[in-house]
């Protein structure tokens, strides 16, 4: 069981690796011996990840790059050796209801959360195809299946990513390249931290999850590591929900007299 995952010596690119789930995934992959390149547009956040890696003696390099900038992404990719694993975690949200939302905000969210994921796949997957293997992992969300009101294009972007991942799985399967998405529920990260600063929200959110707490980034990262590994060799085109049971709660939200216990 010492190297159950067999990931030692593999190479990965992780986007959004300066913060939250991307950072957790980069560190978790590095801990099992993967050489990681961390990509983020936020220089300071990226430096924090690299400091954490250095302090723990983990093999992580960093590249500052915005995944919406095709030219910059291509230049960065050209400077890197071929990778075996791509984790797409760079994501954003913009508030707004669908009828009132500024279309620029709609486009901005899709540019990062959907087209950004495709751009990186197009940069890094061809070398995997050439070498006959690789793993693409896209962080989607349970809001792909459960519309998140007031969140503009967010749910639509995540739904589209889950389908894009399946299509990649279909198109690249014959080449030995797998593609899967991971759908987290409530995760406490810098993206969501402001919610938890409001009185009582952390406790109410913990109580809303059957497992009794919202997720940490490493709860999601461990599933990413599994999907990256050959232990998931027959898993492709899948979406793995990692939400502590939160999305099972629909039937519990309506009254059923006589069945309330
Ligand atoms: P986070 O803490 O905000 O981390 C995301 C990182 O991606 C940030 O450093 C961010 O930089 C970076 N980024 C954003 N746009 C980028 C771009 N165009 N190019 C390069 N880097 C960019 O968010 P998180 O909570 O870890 O979320 C990671 C992923 O999980 C996202 O796709 C998110 O939608 C998804 N997710 C999160 C939750 C949750 O509850 N937290 C639940 C389900 C799914 P900036 O700070 O400059 O934006």
Q: HEC profile for 144-182?
A: HCCCCCCECCHHHHHHHHHHHHHHHHHHHHHHCEEEEEE
Position 259 scores a pLDDT of 87
Position 27 scores a pLDDT of 98
* Rounded Cα gap, residues 222 and 218, in angstroms: 6
**Pocket residue to mutate for ligand 1, from 165, 189, 196, 246, most atoms within 8 A of Cβ:** 189
* Rounded Cα gap, residues 186 and 138, in angstroms: 17
Block mean pLDDT (10 aa), the chain, length 261: 88 98 98 98 98 98 97 96 97 98 98 98 98 98 98 98 98 98 98 96 98 98 98 98 97 90 63
Which CATH number, 3.40.50.300, 3.40.50.12280, 3.30.450.70, 3.40.50.720, labels domain 2-238?
3.40.50.720
End-to-end CA gap in the chain: 43
* Rounded Cα gap, residues 154 and 139, in angstroms: 13
Domain chopping of the chain, boundaries: 2-238
Position 56 scores a pLDDT of 98
* Size (the chain), residues: 261
Name the helix (H) or strand (E) containing 131. Answer: helix 115-131
As to burial, measured by CB atoms within 10 angstroms (0-12 exposed, 13-18 middle, 19+ buried), residue 259 is exposed
Residues in contact with ligand 1 (CB, 6 Å cut-off): 15-16, 18-22, 40-42, 45, 66-68, 89-92, 112-113, 116, 139, 141, 184, 186-187, 189-192
Contact between residue 12 and residue 36 where contact means Cβ atoms under 8 Å apart: yes
Contact between residue 233 and residue 15 where contact means Cβ atoms under 8 Å apart: no
**Pocket residue to mutate for ligand 1, from 43, 162, 191, most atoms within 8 A of Cβ:** 191
**Pocket residue to mutate for ligand 1, from 64, 92, 186, 214, most atoms within 8 A of Cβ:** 92
* Rounded Cα gap, residues 65 and 63, in angstroms: 6
Q: How many CB atoms within 10 Å of residue 105? A: 16
180 phi and psi angles, rounded to 5 deg: -140, 155
pTM: 0.98
Name the helix (H) or strand (E) containing 88. Answer: strand 85-88
Position 261 scores a pLDDT of 63
Atom of ligand 1 nearest to the CA of 158: 34
CA of 256 to the centre of ligand 1 (A): 39
CA of 1 to the centre of ligand 1 (A): 33
196 is catalytic: no
Please choose, from the candidates 47, 50, 46, the residue with its C-alpha nearest in 3D space to the C-alpha of residue 30.
Answer: 50
């Amino acid at each position: 069981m010492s190297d159950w995952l067999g990931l030692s010596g593999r190479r990965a690119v992780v986007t959004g690796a300066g913060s939250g789930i991307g950072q957790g995934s980069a560190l978790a992959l590095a801990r099992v011996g993967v050489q990681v390149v961390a990509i983020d547009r936020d220089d300071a956040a990226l430096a924090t990840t690299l400091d954490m890696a250095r302090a723990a003696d983990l093999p992580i390099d960093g590249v500052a790059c915005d995944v919406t900038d095709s030219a910059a992404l291509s230049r960065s990719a050209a400077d890197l050796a071929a990778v075996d694993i791509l984790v797409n975690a760079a994501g954003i949200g913009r508030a707004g209801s669908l009828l009132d939302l500024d279309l620029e905000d709609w486009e901005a969210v899709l540019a990062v959360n959907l087209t950004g994921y495709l751009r990186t796949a197009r940069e890094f997957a061809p070398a995997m195809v050439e070498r006959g293997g690789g793993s693409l992992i896209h962080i989607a969300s349970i809001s792909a299946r459960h519309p998140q009101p007031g969140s503009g294009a967010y749910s639509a972007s995540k739904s589209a990513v889950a389908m894009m991942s399946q299509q990649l799985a279909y198109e690249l399967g014959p080449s030995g390249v797998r593609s899967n998405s991971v759908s987290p529920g409530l995760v406490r990260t810098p993206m969501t931290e402001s919610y938890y600063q409001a009185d009582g929200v952390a406790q109410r959110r913990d109580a809303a999850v059957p497992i009794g707490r919202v997720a940490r980034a490493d709860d999601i990262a461990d599933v990413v590591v599994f999907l990256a590994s050959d232990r998931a060799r027959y898993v492709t085109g899948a979406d793995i929900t990692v939400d502590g049971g939160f999305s099972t709660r629909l039937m519990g939200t309506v009254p059923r007299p006589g069945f309330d216990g």
